[in-house]
Structure 1
Amino acid sequence: MPTKPSPELSPLATLVRRHDPDRFLTALFAPPARREALFLLYAFNHELARAREVASEPMLALIRLQWWREVVEGERRRHEVAGPLGEALDAGVLDRDDLLTMIEGREAEAEPSVPSLAAWRAYLAATAGGLAVAAGRVLGAEPQVLDRLRALGAAYGVAGQLRSVPALARQGRCLLPEDVLGAHGLTIHAVIAAPDAPGLAPVLQALAEEGRRFLAAGRGRVPAAVRAASLPAVLGRRDLRRIGQPLAPRGLGDRLAVLAAAAGVAST
């Protein structure tokens, strides 16, 4: 089991626990000295995800992303995440190029749609996959392990995308690839109007298979010191098996699966 968190969580840990409980759980299995850096990284990712969620129009999302790009490139600002992020970058705790890749990937969310399966895969490799790479680098992963972490992170991203179709539809958004939708006689507007329609099920299953391909690309043991960066994929694998079923909250089985993988009993 990971070391128990202190009764007084840091502000960053509290933010991640509230907004990204999956990654909060997996970060607890990181070496204690690196844990706060992971919370900072995951808090930064949450801010990037919010850029489009809270923007009333795409251009405002791009402005928010540019604000974060300037922080990563050296502009120091007073903000609960930007302040510590600047300090971590100055200290070399986080890799600037990793964070810029994540920002660039998020720009796809400001587009009217994701045009193709290839673009969708690239988007997930840069966002959820890029986050896993950045986490692995914090934990000291070797280059060959980083490649596998990108695939595992992208697999978790696929599962998250498929689980979030109804939530995105309520925002008037759809991030599923247009060419895959078109092959099944659907459009992004049809998904937004009826995200639970039976006709969407074959699309979700086809895209879940893409997630399994990412999992296969990341298969293998990850060094114990780096393992926390790979653990979201454990939850992604379980979610991919449940695509098409009613969305349920995390349960004991999910937590036990993460624990087993963290202990090296099961692989991601």
Structure 2
Amino acid sequence: MSLSAIGAFARRHDLDRFLCALFAPAERREAVFALIAFNHELARAREAASNPMAALIRLQWWREVVEGARGGAAARRHEVAGPLHEAVAAGALDADALLAMVDAREIEAEEDGIAGEEEFVAWLRGTAGGWCAAAGRALGADPAAAEVLRGLGAAYGLAGVLRSLGAQAARGRCLLPRDRLARAGLDAEAVIRGAGGAALAGLLREIAAEGLEALRAARRDVPRAAIAAALPAVLARRDLARLAAGRDAGARGLGDRLAVTLAGLRGGV
């Protein structure tokens, strides 16, 4: 399969969503690739910044890229900004949905992390959920279907937080809500130090089980043409099931790829 530069970028930096995007109609796939790349740049804003203010500046730069594309400004010279500008200018991606994704990332720049569970859920729905909703709109989903996709994407985001807990701790970060940690007798510093022990393991199983139950109860009726936007839920279900059972979610393997492929071919998650 011959890939464009933005398609290769998406495959290199976000293999999960890239695999899902392959089930988008060919004429809309490039826009979904650009959306994957945009999301990657937003997600790394805090990691690539030396301090919270620098992260906010990075997010503002992307906000201006989107606003410029909508307003008819010239495209910025950047491997992701260029294709993103083209997709927004052509009407293939909704600028308001992209700006909402930028806004949702601002909480990641806060020094104290995410305070409460309500904020945590809003963050998941705005980031990973926002990606699925924006991808769905790009694939022709109506607003109601896009909100279904937002919920499915939030489950994928939750699985990602739990999967990456160790990697985030190595960077000095913990994205779990402070109030939920406190109820388990923990705090972010303990998680970062790797001192959570049995209490943390129990909390992760509990959160994963709640996420899995919410995913099982969620509506999953999305238009077949927008199935690529729903497919992250397939991976979320597999990850959360492993984590709820107290197992390591592990590296992506053939079983994960086959599950996504079968769901994509079937047209349902």
Please tell me the TM-score bracket, short chain as reference.
over 0.9
Question: In the TM superposition, what whole-angstrom CA distance separates every residue of 1:179-212 from its partner, at most 9, and x where no partner exists?
Answer: 1100000000000000673321122123213422
The gaps in structure 2 that reach 5 residues or longer are: none
**1:222 CA displacement:** 2.1
Superposed CA RMSD:
1.5
CA–CA distance in 2 between the matches of 1:124 and 1:186? Answer: 21
CA contact (8 A) 2:115 2:178 kept: yes
Question: In the TM superposition, what whole-angstrom CA distance separates every residue of 1:113-162 from its partner, at most 9, and x where no partner exists?
Answer: 10011000000000000100100011001222111100000000000000
Between stretches 219-228 and 196-205, larger displacement belongs to: 196-205
Give the counterpart letter for 2:79 in structure 1: E
Q: Secondary structure at the match of 2:261?
A: helix
Q: How does 1:105-184 map to 2 (within 5 A)?
A: 105-111=104-110, 112-184=112-184
CA–CA distance in 1 between the matches of 2:210 and 2:50? Answer: 31
**1:71 CA displacement:** 0.8
Q: Which residue of 2 aligns with 1:35?
A: 29
Q: Secondary structure at the match of 1:130?
A: helix
Q: Which residue of 2 aligns with 1:57?
A: 51
CA–CA distance in 2 between the matches of 1:257 and 1:31? Answer: 19
CA–CA distance in 2 between the matches of 1:89 and 1:217? Answer: 34
**1:213 CA displacement:** 4.7
Give the counterpart letter for 1:98 in structure 2: A
- Name the count of aligned residue pairs: 261
CA–CA distance in 2 between the matches of 1:53 and 1:206? Answer: 28
Between stretches 246-255 and 41-50, larger displacement belongs to: 246-255
Deviating beyond 3 angstroms after TM superposition, the runs of 4 or more aligned structure 1 residues are none
CA–CA distance in 2 between the matches of 1:214 and 1:51? Answer: 29
Q: Which residue of 1 aligns with 2:209?
A: 209
Q: Secondary structure at the match of 2:158?
A: helix
Q: Which residue of 1 aligns with 2:40?
A: 46
**1:263 CA displacement:** 2.1
**Quick one: structure 1 residues 18 and 151, their matched pair in 2 at CA, closer, same or farther if it must change by over 3 Å?**
same
CA–CA distance in 2 between the matches of 1:165 and 1:148? Answer: 27
Question: In the TM superposition, what whole-angstrom CA distance separates every residue of 1:93-124 from its partner, at most 9, and x where no partner exists?
Answer: 11011001100111111012100110000000
**Quick one: structure 1 residues 214 and 106, their matched pair in 2 at CA, closer, same or farther if it must change by over 3 Å?**
farther
Q: Secondary structure at the match of 2:17?
A: helix
Q: Which residue of 2 aligns with 1:262?
A: 264
CA–CA distance in 1 between the matches of 2:141 and 2:20? Answer: 16
1:186 aligns to 2:180 (yes or no): no
Give the counterpart letter for 2:178 in structure 1: E
CA contact (8 A) 1:52 1:58 kept: yes
Give the counterpart letter for 1:114 in structure 2: I
The gaps in structure 1 that reach 5 residues or longer are: none
**1:216 CA displacement:** 3.8
Give the counterpart letter for 1:249 in structure 2: A
1:70 aligns to 2:70 (yes or no): no
TM-score w.r.t. length of structure 1: 0.93
Question: In the TM superposition, what whole-angstrom CA distance separates every residue of 1:58-111 from its partner, at most 9, and x where no partner exists?
Answer: 111001001001111115311111112112211111101100110011111101
Give the counterpart letter for 1:90 in structure 2: A
